[in-house]
Amino acid sequence: MKPSIITCSLLIIFLLFTSTISANTFKAYITPSFSASFLKFIDDSGTFLTSPNGTFKAAIFNPGAQQTSFYLCIIHVASSTITWSANRNRAVSNSGLMNLTLKGITISDKNGNNNPVWSTPPLRSQVDRLVLTDMGNLILLDPSNVSLWESFRYPTDTIVIGQRLSVGSSLSSSSSDSDLSPGNYNLTITSSDAILQWFGQTYWKLSMDTKAYKNSLSTVEYMAVNTTGFYLFGSDGTVPVYLVTLPVSNFRVATLDNYGHFIIKSFSFGTGWKQEFVGPDDGCGTPLACGRVGLCTDYDDPSSSSSSSSSSSPVCSCPQNFRVGSGNSGGCVPSNGSYSLPFSCNNNQSNSSLVVPSFLSLGNGLDYFHNIYSDPVMDSVDLSSCQDQCSKNCSCLGVFYRNSSGSCYVIENELGSILSSNNGANQDMFGFIKVSLGSTTTNDGTRDGETSQDGSGQFPVAAAVLLPVTGSTLLVAFLFFWWRRSIKSSKRQDMNKFGKTNNNNNPHSSGDLDAFYIPGLPRRFDYEELEKATDDFKTLIGSGGFGTVYKGVLSDNAVVAVKKIVNIGVQGKKDFCTEIAVIGNIHHVNLVKLKGFCVQGRHRFLVYEYMNRGSLDRTLFGGGPPLEWQERYDVALGTARGLAYLHAGCEHKIIHCDIKPENILLHDHFQAKISDFGLSKLLSPEQSGLFTTMRGTRGYLAPEWLTNSAITEKTDVYSFGMVLLELISGRKNCYFKSRSHSVDEDSNSGGRGGGGGGHNSSSSSMPGLIYFPLLALEKHEEGSYMDLADPRLEGRVTNEEVEKLVRIALCCVHEEPALRPNMAAVVGMLEGGTALPQPRIESLNFLRFYGRRFTEASMIAEENDENGGTPQGNSSSVTSGGSQVALVSYISSQSISGPR
Ligand SMILES: *[C@@H]1O[C@H](CO)[C@@H](O)[C@H](O)[C@H]1NC(C)=O
Ligand SMILES: *[C@@H]1O[C@H](CO)[C@@H](O)[C@H](O)[C@H]1NC(C)=O
Ligand SMILES: *[C@@H]1O[C@H](CO)[C@@H](O)[C@H](O)[C@H]1NC(C)=O
Ligand SMILES: *[C@@H]1O[C@H](CO)[C@@H](O)[C@H](O)[C@H]1NC(C)=O
Ligand SMILES: *[C@@H]1O[C@H](CO)[C@@H](O)[C@H](O)[C@H]1NC(C)=O
Ligand SMILES: *[C@@H]1O[C@H](CO)[C@@H](O)[C@H](O)[C@H]1NC(C)=O
Ligand SMILES: *[C@@H]1O[C@H](CO)[C@@H](O)[C@H](O)[C@H]1NC(C)=O
Ligand SMILES: *[C@@H]1O[C@H](CO)[C@@H](O)[C@H](O)[C@H]1NC(C)=O
């Protein structure tokens, strides 16, 4: 394989379908008669048209990689984001056809006897060409270049720069990532505002958002984004009525997500998506934040009082007289099984609505999102008049009553979540939900009559699963701040915190847990399901700090890696699920995808997508054929991209804390995927001590772990630099060669005899003993990089190629975290877009100290070996010595993974 770094740097693609860009899909326009289907363009994953500079493509596409629903989509290539879809109401199968004729575009399903499921409206004249512009507009042109039809005039859930959403029109959310049909949330532009609605109930207005700035009193004409901001433009089309100024970005979208958030975000190479504006921005702001009738409490995170308001954590529970509903939709149902929740009159329900309704009290101190944006239906009335008003109206599902003013608010059409204020406001606001007698089977599949109320029958976390809502961005925010705070505080405090958490959430005293569920969890598996999938845990494919990993095949034939978590610190189901919700919502092509989890009794499992090439350490250090240079390069770049995304791309920073070859998994074409991100928080304090030691022993531990300085994303950069050095040399950074012969005793050296040629430098000071990072520093000073390359690559890599990676690696391992580049910069260096940096020798001198310590340590270890002492025992007994910490962290490299 010839290195082709230039080609590589051209293809900076972050999400899925990276491999699909090939030169032959670059078509400037198409003419009638033309037809396209997914199957016809399967090599290009359905792409039949590309914009002139390749920014956008048009494709018959299956979002979410499912195989049943295909849409004609316009896709932003670099971010793999769908900005428009034609047939969102009616998907076609993979054999569905798009036809371009003189009359326009039609989409039909082959087995649907050619009746189009979608078509462009009748046009003024005949079509000459179909073009896709670099802004992402699909345009039908007539022979004199006049536009007959444009996709920009029919927005779905997103607008891009150059597109307008005019007054009276709406964006509507998609049902899910794989089903583009309209969901239940609308963003509508009125003559004075932009409003979000759910079944006719308003839950956000731009005019009431503190982040927006009112600039003019004229009436609103349209909404737009450009490279510098977000605007509602006034009637003359030039003066903004409302504006939100944003950082300069060349690609920005305003979109309504599947959970009802209106989001403005920008995309750039290197860092991925950056969220810039979200409405509503509090965790309880969306209508289903806690499911139907769920009680949402928005605790402000005390640690973030100095920072902005966007870090809050919604907690869900059920109001009085209600309990967690079973079934998949979450939400709460009446605790008294004789009652059921009503349906609005436009829903056909048999006879139970004929029963005279009564009202279940939710208690006081509550509110409902719509009340904030609407006027009461009546004022100065008593409660029973308010309830009567509701009883008479079949679309009324509940009332809120303010005692002090006698104001009566009604909930119409659909029941959302209830808001609870934790600051004592709204004490005189009372909530009531209309219920009818009779235990009917309700929409969410609950058979009210049969569920036990003593909590023994239902699995507590059942309700936590698959809530149709995610406050996960906020959860991530909260968790990040929580995590950062706990890192900042001393270890001892941390222990207390953990200890307390454990006691509160002892799995055998679940109790309260029934009242909680967490938005955004991925799929939940039964233990039995996993037992079956793994054939009773037959095929062990790995083991690590968290437990063992088994290969399995799910009922839909998806191959998975099932990770059995043992002895984790976070034992409470709720805490565990909270972590899972965070991890499950991080998606990137270079991060291993969490498909689901299992929490049952004492069992804790995580289900990941399966990586067919195993982990990097096995490929790199194992006895098989050596990785080619280009493959190593691709692994480095993929890993860097994944880390850059964790650090900056997913809005709220995630620090991995455990980057090492064991956690870098390989897929086809040596695509690197990082695993175990977000898991370090699941460890118990005792374990995190062990964990830290283990991490240090392997040599990926940044100096700040030892000096108690703040752990930042630069800690991961250090570990990445260490991995990069191992990719260069093809072996562990710390290893022995035996005194008596030249065969390595490094546990990882496998069948590789006689390696390490050219490693007898003065730096290793003893024959056969290598501390590679120091060797790299010395060779860098000499300028002889070839000595560092894996000798198995002889002749197949150039000095310049090695120099590039060595210099990047050395910059990553600077002792001073501030001098290390961030991961986005590392991506730029690897791709070639950013100039190669010069390592700062003054911040690398610590390697000489470590190298010396390593030498001494190795002698101790060898003595131990001769004495037959158990290495692990030794390392833990030395750990207590403060000044010896640095020493220990390099001793135990041998103690744990060394001579056996
Ligand atoms: C689309 O084109 C195909 C092949 O040209 C043709 O068989 C089919 O009838 C066309 N469908 C429609 C709805 O025009
Ligand atoms: C493609 O064209 C668009 C619109 O002119 C421009 O914003 C974008 O920067 C261009 N992209 C590239 C890669 O040239
Ligand atoms: C239409 O535009 C294309 C591309 O810009 C150009 O080649 C063609 O000559 C134009 N045709 C007319 C009739 O203006
Ligand atoms: C969203 O807006 C469309 C068009 O205005 C309307 O037909 C639809 O009913 C609305 N959906 C909801 C859930 O309000
Ligand atoms: C974006 O629109 C605003 C409002 O019209 C304008 O002031 C600004 O110059 C525009 N930005 C760019 C880069 O055109
Ligand atoms: C449930 O409600 C019914 C009807 O009001 C009542 O007769 C019954 O006592 C209630 N059950 C419980 C356990 O409160
Ligand atoms: C409501 O359901 C009943 C039986 O379930 C059915 O006979 C009736 O036609 C339905 N009414 C409407 C308006 O769908
Ligand atoms: C609905 O109620 C009517 C009268 O109250 C009764 O005759 C009918 O059998 C009921 N239907 C069902 C499906 O329960």
CATH of the domain at 123: 2.90.10.10
Q: Are residues 622 and 605 in the same domain?
A: no
What average pLDDT does this structure show over 725-746?
66
Residue 5 has pLDDT above 70, yes or no: no
- Cβ(234) – ligand 5 distance below 6 Å: no
Range from 200-214, 307-321, 703-717, 828-842 carrying the lowest mean pLDDT: 307-321
Q: Are residues 595 and 705 in the same domain?
A: no
- Cβ(113) – ligand 7 distance below 6 Å: no
**Could you tell me which residue, 340 or 762, shows the higher pLDDT?**
340
Q: What is the pLDDT of residues 261-279, one digit of tens each?
A: 999 999 988 788 889 999 8
**Confidence class for position 686, pLDDT limits 50, 70, 90:** very low
Q: What is the pLDDT of residues 579-605, one digit of tens each?
A: 777 777 778 888 998 888 888 777 888
Q: Are residues 818 and 745 in the same domain?
A: yes
Q: What is the pLDDT of residues 79-100, one digit of tens each?
A: 889 999 999 999 998 888 899 9
pLDDT of residue 485: 32
| Residue 329 CA to ligand 7 centre (angstroms) | 24
pLDDT of residue 612: 81
The verdict on residue 442 lying in a domain is no
What average pLDDT does this structure show over 676-684?
66
Beta-carbon count within 10 A of 305 CB: 9
Q: Which of 640-644, 669-673, 678-682 holds the top average pLDDT?
A: 640-644
pLDDT of residue 12: 28
Place of tokens 């920014």: 55
Q: In the structure encoding, which two tokens stand for residue 690, read together?
A: 């062990």
pLDDT of residue 424: 65
The verdict on residue 193 lying in a domain is yes
Total of domains in the chain: 4
Which amino acid residue places its CA nearest to atom 12 of ligand 1?
Answer: 114
Instruction: Strands of 640-756 (E only): list them.
Output: 664-667, 671-674, 734-736
Q: Are residues 635 and 579 in the same domain?
A: no
Residue 137 has pLDDT above 90, yes or no: yes
Domain-terminating residue out of 593, 609, 625:
609
Q: Are residues 48 and 165 in the same domain?
A: no
**Could you tell me which residue, 710 or 810, shows the higher pLDDT?**
810
Candidates 126, 133, 145, 148: which one to mutate for ligand 3, based on the most atoms within 8 Å of Cβ?
Answer: 145
The verdict on residue 496 lying in a domain is no
Which amino acid residue places its CA nearest to atom 7 of ligand 8?
Answer: 351
Q: Are residues 538 and 649 in the same domain?
A: no
Residue type, 825: A
Whole-angstrom Cα distance, residue 17 to residue 21? 8
The verdict on residue 312 lying in a domain is no
Q: In the structure encoding, which two tokens stand for residue 336, read together?
A: 């008294």
Q: What is the pLDDT of residues 656-675, one digit of tens each?
A: 888 889 889 998 778 899 98
What average pLDDT does this structure show over 774-803?
91
- Cβ(576) – ligand 5 distance below 6 Å: no
CATH code: domain of residue 537: 3.30.200.20
Nearest to 63 by CA among 185, 180, 182, 181: 180
Q: What is the pLDDT of residues 419-429, one digit of tens each?
A: 987 666 678 89
| Residue 99 CA to ligand 1 centre (angstroms) | 6
3-state SS assignment for residue 894 = helix
Residue 789 has pLDDT above 50, yes or no: yes
Give 553's contacts (C-beta < 8 A, 6+ positions apart).
533, 559, 560
**Confidence class for position 329, pLDDT limits 50, 70, 90:** low
What average pLDDT does this structure show over 205-217?
85
Q: Transcribe 445-511 into DSSP letters.
A: --BTTTS-SSSSSS-GGGGGS--S---HHHHHHHHHHHHHHHHHS-HHHHHHHHHHHHHHT-GGG-G
The verdict on residue 583 lying in a domain is yes
Q: What are phi and psi of 98, to 5 degrees?
A: -105, 125
The percent of residues above 90 in pLDDT, for the chain, comes to 34
pLDDT of residue 328: 55
Which amino acid residue places its CA nearest to atom 1 of ligand 5?
Answer: 226
Q: Are residues 70 and 210 in the same domain?
A: no
What average pLDDT does this structure show over 355-372?
86
Candidates 226, 242, 243: which one to mutate for ligand 5, based on the most atoms within 8 Å of Cβ?
Answer: 226
Residue 244 has pLDDT above 70, yes or no: yes
Give the binding-site residues of ligand 1, using a 6 Å CB cut-off.
Answer: 35, 97, 99, 106, 108, 114, 116
Show the 3-state SS of 823-846: HHHHHHHHHCCCCCCCCCHHHCCH
Whole-angstrom Cα distance, residue 280 to residue 196? 9
Q: Are residues 775 and 675 in the same domain?
A: yes
The verdict on residue 508 lying in a domain is no
Residue 516 has pLDDT above 50, yes or no: no
Q: Transcribe 552-599 into DSSP letters.
A: EE-TT--EEEEEEE-S-S--SHHHHHHHHHHHHT---TTBPPEEEEEE
**Confidence class for position 66, pLDDT limits 50, 70, 90:** confident
Considering every ligand atom, which ligand is closest to the CA of 251?
Answer: 2
The verdict on residue 293 lying in a domain is no
Residue 825 has pLDDT above 60, yes or no: yes
pLDDT of residue 667: 85
Q: Which of 385-389, 393-397, 442-446, 769-773 holds the top average pLDDT?
A: 385-389
Q: 860, exposed or middle or buried, with CB in 10 Å at 0-12, 13-18, 19+?
A: middle
User: What residues are annotated to the active site?
Assistant: 658
pLDDT of residue 708: 59
Q: Which of 312-321, 326-335, 387-396, 796-805 holds the top average pLDDT?
A: 796-805
Q: Are residues 625 and 603 in the same domain?
A: no
Domain-terminating residue out of 566, 587, 609:
609
Average pLDDT of the chain to the nearest whole number: 74
Candidates 323, 338, 453: which one to mutate for ligand 6, based on the most atoms within 8 Å of Cβ?
Answer: 338
pLDDT of residue 851: 75
* Long-range CB contact pairs, 774-782, < 8 A, 24+: 774/847, 774/848, 774/850, 774/851, 776/725, 776/728, 776/806, 776/809, 776/810, 777/810, 777/839, 777/841, 777/844, 777/847, 777/848, 779/806, 780/806, 780/807, 780/810, 780/839, 781/841
Beta-carbon count within 10 A of 858 CB: 25
Which amino acid residue places its CA nearest to atom 13 of ligand 3?
Answer: 144
- Cβ(338) – ligand 6 distance below 6 Å: yes
What average pLDDT does this structure show over 852-856?
67
- The model's pTM is 0.56
| Residue 150 CA to ligand 5 centre (angstroms) | 23
Q: Which secondary structure element, helix H or strand E, spans residue 29, and what is its range?
A: strand 29-30
Domain that holds residue 222: 158-280
pLDDT of residue 449: 32
Domain-terminating residue out of 136, 153, 170:
153
The verdict on residue 324 lying in a domain is no
pLDDT of residue 760: 39
Q: Are residues 648 and 789 in the same domain?
A: yes
Considering every ligand atom, which ligand is closest to the CA of 440?
Answer: 8
CATH code: domain of residue 796: 1.10.510.10
Q: Are residues 634 and 753 in the same domain?
A: yes
pLDDT of residue 257: 93
Residue 396 has pLDDT above 50, yes or no: yes
pLDDT of residue 23: 38
Radius of gyration of the chain measured on its C-alpha atoms: 30
Residue 762 has pLDDT above 50, yes or no: no
| Residue 144 CA to ligand 3 centre (angstroms) | 7
Residue 462 has pLDDT above 70, yes or no: no
Residue 540 has pLDDT above 70, yes or no: yes
Ligand-binding annotation for 564, yes or no, is: yes
Considering every ligand atom, which ligand is closest to the CA of 453?
Answer: 6
- Cβ(184) – ligand 4 distance below 6 Å: yes
Q: Are residues 44 and 117 in the same domain?
A: yes
Q: Give 816's DSSP letter.
A: S
